[in-house]
Each structure stands twice: as C-alpha cells, then as structure tokens.
Chain A
Amino acid sequence: MLGYIIRRIIQAIIVILGVSLIVFLLSQLIPGGQARAALGPKATPLQIAHFNRLNGYNQPLWVQYWHYILSIIKGDLGYSYKNNQGVTALILNRLPKTLVLVGSSTILALIIAIPLGMAQAVRRNQAFDYVMTGVSFFLYAIPAFLIGELLIIWFSFDLNWFPSQPPTSASPWAIITDPRAFVLPVFSLAALTIAAFSRYMRSSVLDTLGEDYIRTAKAKGASPRRVLYGHAFRNALLPILTLIGLSLPAIVGGALIVETVFNYPGMGLLTVQAAANDDVPLVLGTTLVATAATVLGSLLADVLYAAADPRIRLGGD
C-alpha cells in the first residue's frame, strides 16, 4: 500500500514536470517572444533587447527552464506583466473559487446521479430506464457552453431569476455575497457529470446485483431493500471514487468552459484570458496548478478506493 502511494506520487511529480516542460517549450514558439507580448506594438528593437536582458530571456533555454523549476520549488510561479502581479498571488486568489465551483457541482452531480443510477438499475429495461437513459444521453450530448448559454437566456435574460455573472471582487469569498449568482454555473457544470455518473452507477449496480454474495443474501431471505442498500449500494459505490478521480480532468476542463461562459472569476477564466493575451508565465502557472490538482485529486481517489476495498489492500500491487 505504501509502495503504491509512493509510486503514484512519483508519477504525479513526473506528470507535473512533463507538463511544465511542454508548456514552457510551447511558449518559446510565440513569435517575438515574451518581449513583444509584454511591450506591445510600440516596442522598438532597443526596448525589446533591454527587456530581454532585464528578464533573462536572452539566456539559453535550458538555463531559463532550470531557473523556472527552481523558483517553482520555492513557490514562486513567476510574474505576469499584464496584471502587474505575481502569478502565485493571482492563482491563490482564483483557485478557491474554482474549487468551490468544481466541488459543489460534483457533489450536486453525485446527489442526483447515485439515486438515479440505482433507480435505473432496479427498473432495468422498463420505461423509466429508457426515458432516463435518453435524458442522460441528451445531457451528455449538449456542449458544455451551450448548456450555460441556454440557462443564461432562459433564467437570466427572460425570467430574471438569477444573475448571469457573479460579482467581481478581489476577495476569494466574494462569491458568497451573492449566492444566486452561483446557481447557474454550478448547474451547468453538474449537468454534464450527472449524465456520466448516473450511467456508471447504473451499470455498477447492475454488475453488483449479479454477484454471488447478493444471491446469497437473497437466498438467506434478506429483503430487496436491504439487499439494495446494504450490499449493492456500498459495493457499487466504491468505483465511484475512482470514477471521480478519472473524471477530474474532464470536470476541470468543463469548469474552464463554464467559467468562460459565466465570466466566473476562477482559474479557468484566468487561463483563457492569459492565453488570449499571450501572457506566458500566467498560462504556465495555471496549467501547472490545474495539472497538479487533477493528478493529486485522482491519486486521492485511488488511495481512498484502495483503502476501502480490502481485496485491493490485502492483495497488494
């Protein structure tokens, strides 16, 4: 078990380093380099040279990369000229908001998807199942940004029940000042994950219901309800943890889109804006943090699964 965790942590570090290298190399391909992106159209060659010298952009690539890695270890993710702030400070400001968005929508999705999946499994191949499958497919097929935009059109423009943008403020907890602004983004993000989770829950419960120990329980006279909730539910739940871990990259990506649609001031929106501005240190920083969060999140999910399932724990790896 410990070996497994250590291996996964090493793997996580490799992933993060790899991603940082890729984005770093990509950023070198921007024509004109960092100087043009920061100084803008009026820059004379003299000013560009001065800027490059000042910022060390005239050093060899591997030197720059090495300095970058060193500063990451110290917690300094660089500096964004466009915002005149440190990247770390910017991310620390936005990350909690994204975590709140991703967390709430995942929880909401689970609350809806788990009972839904179970109900579908129990009523397999009946009308309810078909209808819910259809709805699932439909939700899954809607592009993330379309759900967001439609919700805005219906509930914000037409009905005016919810605002379409959250309040802009520097404080990470500003979102709490207007909880109504939170509703539409969370629902948009949850809608996609509900579809995937409920399908998975459905097949997971079906598989479990077919297992030997379920038949044994039934033979022993346990009531269907006890069978369902006592045995099937608990055992079918375990893979959900892994599923969450595996879905994290998709959810984080979905958050990026939802944040763009709703102008929700989180990490995703920050990344999109940074990319549009060719603000390389910021893009590097947000991509790294997103990767780290995803990797660690799925690591956590796997560890929890391994800890919960005695078969895995005792079986070793």
Chain B
Amino acid sequence: MSARTEKAAAATARSAPRTDRPGAGLDVRGLTVRYGDGPDAPAALRDVDLQVAPGETVGLVGESGSGKTTLALAVLRALPAAGHVDAGSVTLGGDDLLAMDPGGLRELWRRRIKLVPQNPLPSMNPAHTVGHQLAESLAPDRPGRADRTEIDAMLDAVGLADPERIRRSYPFELSGGQQQRVMIAMALLGKPELLVMDEPTTNLDVTTEAAILELVRELVRGSDTAVLYVSHSLGVVSQLCDRVEVLYAGELVECAPVDALYDAPRHPYTVGLLDSVPLLGRTKRDAPLRPIPGRIPDLADLPPGCVFAPRCPAAEEACRAERPALEPAGKDRLVACRRWREIADGDVSARQPAPDGAEEAAPSDGPALRAVGIEKRFETRRGLLDRLRGREAGAVKALRGVDLEVRTGRTLGLVGESGSGKSTLARAVIGLEPASDGTFELLGEPLTRRLERRDREVIRLLQMVFQSSDEALNPHRSVGATLRRPFMRLAGLDRDEADRRVARLLESVNLTAEYATRRPDELSGGEKQRVTVARAFASDPELILFDESVSGLDVSVQASLLNLLDELQRERHASYLFISHDLAVVAHLADDVAVLYLGQVMEAGPAETVLAPPYHPYTEALLAAVPRIDPHVAAARPPLEGEVPSPRDVPVGCPFATRCPRVLGAVCHDEPPPVTVSEDGRHRIRCHIPRDELVELQEPLVEEVAS
C-alpha cells in the first residue's frame, strides 16, 4: 500500500459528505475562557467556534500564546485550576461537556475522548507494563480480562512489529517513536468519539514523524472518530487535515478547508505564517523569509480594534478602531478581516515586506574549519563485578571518522536523525567534549582538543549557540552583565567601553539597548535566543556553531532569526556550522550540507548538489519525509522503516544498510561502502551503489495528489 494511494483515498474521503447525524462530533460555540477571576481577568479564548465531524480531521494552528492549547484543554475539560469557561458551549455527540459531573467526566475520559500528548512518557505509568496500560484503556473496569488479541491487533496496526515484547515492556524501555505509537494505540483502542492530538510528532525525528503521520492518516480514515490535531507545524497540518482553524491571541481568525487555506490564504496572519516557513527547494538567495514583525499582544492589554492590526501589513485606520467580525468568505470558509475581499482580489497585499535584498556574499577564501578523521569514543564504565568477571571496558563510538570543511563566510548545514552524532561533533569542535582522535584546523592552525587548554585568542574565534535559550542564559544575571563579559574577557575592554559595545550589539540583533537591564525571565523565547546570538558574536568570532538554535521557536520568530543570522554573516563574514534536524531550515540557510548517520558522513557537498539528485539513499529518505507545506503533494514513497541502530551495535558494513530501501545485498551488510567523489571533487557520497546508477534510480520525492 503506497503513500500515493493512501493520500488519494484520503482525498476522496475528504470530499465525501461529512456527517448526517445532528449533533454528532465535537461542537464548540462561542467559547470564552478566562484565567483568573473577575470580568477583567485576561481571556485566553474569546468567542471561539470549532466543529469536528465524525471521521473528520481538523487542524488547529497558531503560535505560542494563540490559545490553541487552552482550546484543546477546554474541550478535554482539563483546564488548569486558574482557568474557567466564561461563556459558550462544548458538546460531544450532543452531550454538554461543560455540565458534566465528576462521574460523567470519568466516563467521558475513559471511553469517549482520548488524548495523544506531545510527550508520551509522562503520560504513561512507569510502574506498569505497556500491556497492562493498553488493557486498562480497552477495558477500564476489568483490565485483567481485556481481550489480548484485540490489543495485539492494535499494536500491529500502529506498526509495532513484536506485540508480545512491547506488551511486556515498561514505557521507558521503548524509544520515543515507539512510545508515541503505544499512546496512539491506547487512544484508539477504546474507539473514542474524539481524539485530541497535541503536537504528537513535534519531538520526533522527521523520519519517525512521517511514519506516525502516515499511521494516523490510515487509522483515522474510514473510522468514525473526530480528530482535533493541534500543531504549530503548517507542513504537518497540510498533509493530515481536512480543515484548518487558525487562532491568534485567543481569537479565531481564519477557518477553511485545507486546500483553500494553503492555496489562497485570506487572513494576513495566515499569509504571514505561510511566508515564515522555509520551503524545501527555496533558499535564502531566491526566497527570503518574510517574518511577522513584533509579537503576539499581551492578553491583559489587547489592541482596541483587530487583534492582529499592530502587526498587519494591510491594516488601515478602521482596522485599529473596530474589531472585525468573523464572516463567511467562500465555500466553508470564515475569516475575521475587514479587507479579506481586497486581499482575495489581489487589490491589497497581505504579505509582509521582504527583508533587504540578499546581496552576494563576499567570496570565500579557503576553509575556516577543517575536520579530519574525527572520532569520539565514550568509554562505558566498568564496575567491580565486571572487573572480577574479567569483562573488558566497552566503548561507544559516537563519531567514526568524520571529515568535513566549513568555508569562510559560508554556512555548513549538518543534518541527521537523533543519535547521528551531530551534537557530539559540535561539542568536540568547541572542546566541551574533546574528540578522541582526529584533527581540527581553525584557519589552518591545528586546534587543541580541550577547551580549557586553548589560547584565549582561539576561544575568541570559536563560539557556539545552543538550542535551549532557557538554559543558555544564567537566570541570575542581567542581559547586560552576560553580554559585557566577552568584551571584557576576550576583547580586553574596560567596563564602560564594554557597556557601550553591549548597547550596539543589542541593536545589531534587533533588540534595543534598554534590554541590557532585563533579566532572562523577562524575555520571550525569541528574545532570549537573540541574546545568545549576540553573546556569540560579541567576541567577533570567525566560526560559530549553532546546535538546533532555531528549533523549538515559533515559525515567525524562527524566520526573523534565520534572516538575522544571514544578515550578520554577510556583514561580518563569519562562518557557520549549522546543526538542525529540520531539512527545510538547513536547505534555506546552508551553502554546503553534510548528512551524518551513526557518526559517519554519508553525503557532503554544496547544498545544491546534496539536495538534488544523485542522492545518497539516506538523504533521499530524509528529504522524502519532510512534510510539504502543500496539501496537493504527498511523499511518493513509504516512510523509512525502523530506527537508528544503537551506536553500541553498529553494523559491520554500511551503517545504513539495516534500513536502506535500496540495499543491494550482502555487500552492503558486510563491507564498508566506498566514498565516491564527483568530477569537480566537491560532492562526496558514501555508498556501494555507483554514482551513475544512483542517478538512474532517482524518482520524484513527492507527487501530486488528486483532490
């Protein structure tokens, strides 16, 4: 059963009439939710409608602070203690959920509504086996008598090949992808009327995400379950949902069938969201991102007119004065914008202005960083008993001979699934976790392995930005105190001069000088990440490592950060090693790309050669798995199966052979593959299949779906 037929079938199901039973499915009307008491308490949701018919999948999108989680929690009757429904109704199958007593709620949660959360592990009981918990959700009253064959059938349906073993496992013994499959199995076992999925694939690798989405699509199709899918990812929603609701600052701004929404967004916020997402096949050179300026308003201090007006490129006086009504805008569509007709007719552009043209970067003059044969071993500890038994100390090889090069003034994007060794490599370069073997050269000079042994000048030249901006800033020090240090310590300035430079630095990352007095807990996620970027740039470094530095941010925040990184690079001619699991982001920003798998570079070269045929089969699988932001296309092949093998147990031959869809035979499993180099010497592929054959094997990664 190919992905193609799946998607086509889903498309036909989509066009079929949805429901005939009155009151079936989820029906939310005029819902207002406040946090805190009194009429002045901030309303996190204001007058929101939502309908999900049986068999329908509705996506709920918006950035943090949009109210999508509050809406999902209100539907689940699981609002936090401070939150309460102020007005409106929530019914499921005609029953009023808001009026239910504790007994009714228990029955509701046991049988009729199920949740698949973002993090599966905290939702499972660590003291019970997975089998026990599955039995509980199938037969809440008598888990001991639950039908085991039904459980096994469900485990099989969610793609867990060895149900017996899974049932006996405890949750923590499973991988993240397996845990999420178990959660889905648990949710579906009771055949719920409503399934709420809250960012279920956000923490998963792109390959696992693709597999889970495929699974959800297949399981939900033809069933009577209504699915509410909460996500910040426009790509995932476009691939999975029938209809989409866009929330902004607690209000419904647009609601439309998925094709219509993506083909012709009417609300400027929807337009801005779509323009903020990097698309595969577009780069910073030909399609700069257009982030939405500013940020979501404070609920306690909402603008008087349209809530989006302060950030809207099409806002006029009337927009700021008067709140727009949600009005029908075509078949099955609603939009809350005064000017939607002008936007639909093309008389007014709802697009944010593009950033200043990307002028050509200065030519690159040789490598900023060269890594040759980098290895990293983690010794496993040998306890006393192991010693007595004469057991050897084992070593896990996280990096197995990595060669790569970052050109000056350019960006090398490093991609791979979790466990590929991306972060280990970054930490080895910076010296936090010194490499076990191999050499690094920074601007032609060999680099001492340990950070603490490096000269201050080397430290100055090499900086890093982490993923989590929450952890990267000391919560006890002000922004100014944090940023002042590199100037004093690495540039040798006195305190006054350092403070002046801090002010200039803050402006160069699009913050204002007054941010110097703030503490990290007074900043939003995007602002914190700007401060960590500023800290990295303070010492005027040559090479900056970014370890998932834009992951976990809202799309418009991510877009403005990506634009900032590009701008700073052109201004200062800095070189980047940019690590991300998001291929679309890497494709947008990187000049060169390296693909890492189990501590080895499988493919490397200029972005336009790596992201175009001939692909390494692994690169090909990664690219195919990226959810396209276009409901009209779908992946042309089934998602990659299995998971990255443990680095303790690396296959003898090609590390990818265990999952490779193009595996040739014994040779792949038994012999390490050769590295073949393109004619110009810039593109490397590590594969047994010869280059010219790889070229012939290529098929399109995505295909059109009939709608």
Chains A and B bind each other: no
* Residues of A that sit less than 8 Å from B by CB: none
